[in-house]
Amino acid sequence: MELQNKLTPFIWYERGAEDAVAHYLRVFGPGSGRVLHTQHWGENAPGPAGTVMLQHVELLGMQMTAFNGGPHFKLNEAFSLTVACEDQAEIDHLWEQLPAGGGTPLSCGWVRDAWGLSWQIIPKAWFRMVNDPDAARVQRVFQAVWGMHKIDLAALQRAYDGT
Protein backbone atom coordinates (compact mmCIF):
# COMPACT_ATOMS: atom_id res chain seq x y z
CA MET A 1 0.00 0.00 0.00
CA GLU A 2 1.28 3.44 -0.89
CA LEU A 3 0.00 6.65 0.70
CA GLN A 4 -1.65 8.95 -1.84
CA ASN A 5 -1.60 12.10 0.28
CA LYS A 6 1.55 13.96 1.22
CA LEU A 7 -0.10 14.96 4.52
CA THR A 8 -1.92 12.18 6.39
CA PRO A 9 -3.36 12.33 9.93
CA PHE A 10 -2.03 9.62 12.27
CA ILE A 11 -4.59 9.24 15.06
CA TRP A 12 -3.55 7.52 18.31
CA TYR A 13 -6.41 5.68 19.99
CA GLU A 14 -6.00 4.08 23.40
CA ARG A 15 -7.74 1.00 22.00
CA GLY A 16 -10.47 0.11 19.53
CA ALA A 17 -9.08 1.95 16.50
CA GLU A 18 -10.57 -0.70 14.21
CA ASP A 19 -13.97 -0.27 15.92
CA ALA A 20 -13.74 3.49 15.45
CA VAL A 21 -12.92 3.02 11.75
CA ALA A 22 -15.88 0.65 11.30
CA HIS A 23 -18.12 3.20 13.05
CA TYR A 24 -16.98 6.04 10.77
CA LEU A 25 -17.56 3.95 7.65
CA ARG A 26 -21.08 3.08 8.89
CA VAL A 27 -21.91 6.69 9.82
CA PHE A 28 -20.76 8.17 6.52
CA GLY A 29 -22.38 5.35 4.56
CA PRO A 30 -21.68 3.14 1.56
CA GLY A 31 -19.01 4.47 -0.74
CA SER A 32 -17.65 6.89 1.88
CA GLY A 33 -14.39 5.06 2.34
CA ARG A 34 -12.55 1.82 2.91
CA VAL A 35 -9.83 0.16 4.92
CA LEU A 36 -6.69 0.19 2.78
CA HIS A 37 -4.47 -1.92 5.04
CA THR A 38 -4.57 -3.56 8.47
CA GLN A 39 -1.37 -4.24 10.39
CA HIS A 40 -1.36 -6.60 13.40
CA TRP A 41 0.96 -6.60 16.39
CA GLY A 42 3.69 -9.24 16.16
CA GLU A 43 5.43 -11.23 18.87
CA ASN A 44 7.36 -9.27 21.52
CA ALA A 45 5.56 -6.04 20.56
CA PRO A 46 3.93 -3.45 22.83
CA GLY A 47 0.45 -4.73 21.91
CA PRO A 48 -1.01 -8.24 22.20
CA ALA A 49 0.29 -10.43 19.35
CA GLY A 50 -2.23 -10.90 16.56
CA THR A 51 -4.43 -7.92 17.51
CA VAL A 52 -4.86 -4.88 15.28
CA MET A 53 -2.01 -2.41 15.62
CA LEU A 54 -3.21 0.05 12.97
CA GLN A 55 -5.40 0.56 9.97
CA HIS A 56 -4.73 2.80 7.00
CA VAL A 57 -8.10 4.14 5.91
CA GLU A 58 -9.59 6.32 3.22
CA LEU A 59 -12.59 8.30 4.48
CA LEU A 60 -14.36 10.92 2.37
CA GLY A 61 -11.35 11.06 0.07
CA MET A 62 -8.83 11.61 2.88
CA GLN A 63 -6.34 8.99 3.96
CA MET A 64 -5.56 8.60 7.65
CA THR A 65 -4.02 6.06 10.00
CA ALA A 66 -5.86 4.78 13.09
CA PHE A 67 -3.39 3.38 15.64
CA ASN A 68 -4.05 1.30 18.78
CA GLY A 69 -1.29 2.84 20.87
CA GLY A 70 -2.41 2.24 24.44
CA PRO A 71 -2.96 4.71 27.27
CA HIS A 72 0.21 6.80 26.84
CA PHE A 73 -1.47 9.66 24.95
CA LYS A 74 -5.09 10.85 24.95
CA LEU A 75 -7.12 12.42 22.17
CA ASN A 76 -8.50 15.87 22.97
CA GLU A 77 -9.99 18.93 21.27
CA ALA A 78 -6.54 20.18 20.26
CA PHE A 79 -7.04 18.02 17.14
CA SER A 80 -10.33 17.63 15.31
CA LEU A 81 -11.67 16.66 11.91
CA THR A 82 -14.03 19.10 10.18
CA VAL A 83 -16.91 17.80 8.07
CA ALA A 84 -18.38 20.38 5.67
CA CYS A 85 -22.05 19.38 5.37
CA GLU A 86 -24.30 20.07 2.40
CA ASP A 87 -27.48 20.74 4.37
CA GLN A 88 -29.25 20.56 7.74
CA ALA A 89 -30.20 16.90 7.21
CA GLU A 90 -26.53 15.93 6.93
CA ILE A 91 -25.66 18.04 9.99
CA ASP A 92 -28.47 16.34 11.96
CA HIS A 93 -27.38 12.85 10.88
CA LEU A 94 -23.72 13.33 11.77
CA TRP A 95 -24.54 15.18 15.01
CA GLU A 96 -26.59 12.18 16.12
CA GLN A 97 -24.47 9.34 14.75
CA LEU A 98 -20.83 10.34 15.29
CA PRO A 99 -21.10 10.48 19.12
CA ALA A 100 -23.35 7.37 19.28
CA GLY A 101 -22.19 4.66 21.63
CA GLY A 102 -20.62 6.83 24.30
CA GLY A 103 -19.53 10.10 22.71
CA THR A 104 -20.55 13.62 23.67
CA PRO A 105 -22.15 16.52 21.80
CA LEU A 106 -20.21 19.72 22.51
CA SER A 107 -20.67 23.41 21.66
CA CYS A 108 -20.29 25.32 18.40
CA GLY A 109 -20.94 22.32 16.15
CA TRP A 110 -18.40 20.01 17.80
CA VAL A 111 -18.96 16.41 18.90
CA ARG A 112 -16.59 13.92 20.52
CA ASP A 113 -16.98 10.30 19.46
CA ALA A 114 -16.83 7.31 21.82
CA TRP A 115 -13.08 6.91 21.16
CA GLY A 116 -12.28 10.53 22.03
CA LEU A 117 -11.83 11.99 18.53
CA SER A 118 -13.35 15.45 18.11
CA TRP A 119 -15.33 16.40 15.01
CA GLN A 120 -16.57 19.78 13.80
CA ILE A 121 -19.91 19.33 12.05
CA ILE A 122 -20.48 22.51 10.08
CA PRO A 123 -22.27 23.54 6.88
CA LYS A 124 -20.30 24.29 3.72
CA ALA A 125 -22.01 27.69 3.80
CA TRP A 126 -19.99 28.50 6.95
CA PHE A 127 -16.82 28.98 4.89
CA ARG A 128 -18.54 31.44 2.56
CA MET A 129 -20.09 33.32 5.49
CA VAL A 130 -16.94 33.74 7.59
CA ASN A 131 -14.91 34.83 4.58
CA ASP A 132 -17.32 37.61 3.64
CA PRO A 133 -15.60 41.02 3.33
CA ASP A 134 -18.41 42.55 5.46
CA ALA A 135 -17.04 42.37 9.02
CA ALA A 136 -20.49 42.93 10.56
CA ARG A 137 -21.88 39.87 8.77
CA VAL A 138 -18.95 37.75 9.91
CA GLN A 139 -19.34 38.95 13.50
CA ARG A 140 -23.08 38.09 13.49
CA VAL A 141 -22.30 34.59 12.23
CA PHE A 142 -19.70 34.01 14.95
CA GLN A 143 -22.07 35.35 17.61
CA ALA A 144 -24.77 32.95 16.41
CA VAL A 145 -22.43 29.93 16.41
CA TRP A 146 -21.10 30.69 19.89
CA GLY A 147 -24.65 30.23 21.22
CA MET A 148 -25.26 26.90 19.46
CA HIS A 149 -24.49 23.29 20.21
CA LYS A 150 -25.62 21.61 16.97
CA ILE A 151 -25.41 24.08 14.10
CA ASP A 152 -28.77 25.39 12.91
CA LEU A 153 -28.15 26.33 9.29
CA ALA A 154 -31.32 28.45 8.98
CA ALA A 155 -30.42 30.44 12.12
CA LEU A 156 -26.89 30.88 10.80
CA GLN A 157 -28.27 32.21 7.51
CA ARG A 158 -30.56 34.63 9.38
CA ALA A 159 -27.57 35.92 11.38
CA TYR A 160 -25.57 36.31 8.19
CA ASP A 161 -28.44 38.20 6.53
CA GLY A 162 -29.05 40.32 9.63
CA THR A 163 -32.72 39.32 9.84
Domain ranges in the chain are 8-74, 75-163
User: Is the separation of the CB atoms in 23 and 35 below 8 Å?
Assistant: no
Q: Which of the listed CATH numbers 3.10.180.10, 1.20.272.10, 2.60.40.10, 3.90.1300.10 matches domain 75-163?
A: 3.10.180.10
pTM of the model: 0.94
Query: What confidence score (pLDDT) does residue 1 get?
Result: 65
Quick one: which H or E segment has residue 37?
strand 33-40
Share of the chain above pLDDT 90, in %: 94
Summarised one tens digit per residue, pLDDT across range 64-111 is: 999 999 999 999 999 999 999 999 999 999 999 999 999 999 999 999
Give the contacts of 120 (CB within 8 A, at least 6 positions apart).
80, 81, 82, 83, 108, 109, 110
Class (C level, CATH) for 8-74: alpha beta
User: Coil, strand, or helix at residue 63?
Assistant: strand
